[in-house]
Amino acid sequence: MKKYYLGLTAITLALVLASFCLMWFSSRGLFLNILSVLPIYFAIVTGLMHYGIVSSFYKDPRTFVKNFLGITVGSLFLHLAILFLWSLTHIQSAKTFIIGFCICYVTYLLFETISLILVVHNKRKENE
């Protein structure tokens, strides 16, 4: 679990630094200040998801799929609600926010998927 959180922190720092570089070198209309905080939001949500899924997997592997799907669908609805609310309240900057949000979402989704595959694979190896 410690290795996971180190990787999560590294990805978050890389995305925050990339957003600050984008803020520094881009025109004012292209960058939103919220984009520099967005990776921290995703790090918190992804870390909590991973903790919940992995702890439920180690408690009872038979309920892993149910818990995984429930937590994943819940976080997806949370993300969609945030996108919807931002698009309604900030019509001018909605396109830039959605692009940045999707980049962060895909990055953290890939990291979470690879991490969960490694956890399940290592657990199966231990049981053999």
Tens-place pLDDT, residues 56-73: 888 888 888 899 999 999
pLDDT of residue 36: 85
pLDDT of residue 31: 65
Report residue 112 CA to chain centroid gap.
7
pTM for this structure? 0.86
Side chain identity at residue 19, one-letter code: S
The DSSP secondary-structure symbol of 32 reads -
User: Distance between CA atoms of 12 and 109, rounded to whole angstroms?
Assistant: 13
Number of domain units in the chain: 1
pLDDT of residue 34: 83
16, pLDDT greater than 60: yes
Burial (CB count <10 Å: 0-12, 13-18, 19+), residue 96? middle
Domain that holds residue 64: 2-127
Tens-place pLDDT, residues 43-57: 999 999 999 999 988
